[in-house]
């Protein structure tokens, strides 16, 4: 408690406007600790630390037992850089955690976007950046590269059924290889000719799942396959969220519900939630 009061005094001395706002809105003034099991917690920790940079320096200066942990100007500069880089991962995490649309088809694009951002960051790093930071960025880029090998094991033709991954993405990847680019254009022309001859419909764009549903009589087996693949979310967030909400459906008085009844209730609840959101 004494340390907490000392921290509040440091905040009040260095950022009195924040203290006044906190009293009105009950805004927390404490720092955020990193948690290995919580997504984006490192970014939140650094963001809050930068907000209270002056208070942290003042608090450390007033306590001799922690003076060895004092942050230099270079440390704060690295923290700001790292916070900006981690913001990219936080945005990617937020996108992959959405439940309003299927996300498996966008996972490839999100990972590739992160790779491109990291590549740009590595190229623009100043010479005085810590070697540890450079090593961490390189390892992050390599980790994202590992997932591309896993994508090679996936049923790639089904990805082509989704408009978010197609000719434009491959064209960008083949810009440095004339043979691959020429082959890509020929394959595109051949595919368009085949599609226009046998399958073309009168629309500019559509939801892929709805398209397969409307053509389920023409392609019953392909419809089942595409439905199962395209409906897979890019992360387990949506599934975990629905599972956590199950306790609202299965109460003590409803503990004898049959599995199929619980399944239908959960599906109806999700459908009502999506309709209300739209």
Task: Judge whether 61 lies within some domain.
Answer: yes
Neighbours of 213 (CB within 10 A): 12
Separation between Cα atoms, residue 134 and residue 110, nearest integer Å: 22
Same domain for 217 and 255? no
Task: Judge whether 128 lies within some domain.
Answer: no
Same domain for 1 and 91? yes
Same domain for 78 and 24? yes
Task: Judge whether 79 lies within some domain.
Answer: yes
Q: What is the pTM of this model?
A: 0.61
Per-residue pLDDT tens digits of the chain, which is 278 residues long:
678 888 888 888 888 877 676 666 666 678 888 888 787 889 999 999 998 999 999 999 988 888 898 999 988 988 998 899 899 988 888 887 776 665 666 777 788 888 889 999 988 888 888 888 889 889 988 888 887 666 566 665 555 555 555 677 778 777 877 888 888 888 888 888 887 777 666 556 667 778 888 889 988 998 998 888 877 776 767 777 777 777 777 777 767 788 888 888 888 887 887 788 76
Domain end position, chosen among 97, 131, 157:
97
Same domain for 197 and 271? no
Same domain for 184 and 265? no
Number of domains in the chain: 3
Same domain for 215 and 249? no
- Domain encompassing residue 252: 236-276
Task: Judge whether 127 lies within some domain.
Answer: no
């Amino acid at each position: 408690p004494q340390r907490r009061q000392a921290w509040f005094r440091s905040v009040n001395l260095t950022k009195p406007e924040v203290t006044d706002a906190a009293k009105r809105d009950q805004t927390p003034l404490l720092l955020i600790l990193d948690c290995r099991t919580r997504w984006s917690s490192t970014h939140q920790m650094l963001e809050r630390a930068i907000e209270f940079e002056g208070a942290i320096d003042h608090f450390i200066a007033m306590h001799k037992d922690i003076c060895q942990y004092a942050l230099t100007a270079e440390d704060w500069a690295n923290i700001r850089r790292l916070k900006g880089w981690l913001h990219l991962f936080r945005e990617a995490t937020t996108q992959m955690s959405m439940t309003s649309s299927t996300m498996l088809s966008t996972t490839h694009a999100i990972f590739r976007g992160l790779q491109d951002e990291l590549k740009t960051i590595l190229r623009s790093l100043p010479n005085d950046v810590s070697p540890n930071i450079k090593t961490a960025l390189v390892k992050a880029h390599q980790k994202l590269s590992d997932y591309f090998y896993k994508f090679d094991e996936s049923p790639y033709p089904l990805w082509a059924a989704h408009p978010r991954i197609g000719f434009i993405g491959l064209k960008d990847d083949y810009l440095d290889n004339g043979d691959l680019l020429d082959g890509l254009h020929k394959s595109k022309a051949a595919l368009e000719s085949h599609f226009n001859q046998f399958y073309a419909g009168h629309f500019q764009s559509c939801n892929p799942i709805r398209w397969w549903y409307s053509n389920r009589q023409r392609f019953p087996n392909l419809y089942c396959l595409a439905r199962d693949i395209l409906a897979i979310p890019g992360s387990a967030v949506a599934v975990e969220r629905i599972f956590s909400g199950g306790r609202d459906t299965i109460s003590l008085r409803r503990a004898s519900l049959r599995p199929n009844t619980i399944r239908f209730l959960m599906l109806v609840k999700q459908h009502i939630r999506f309709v209300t959101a739209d």
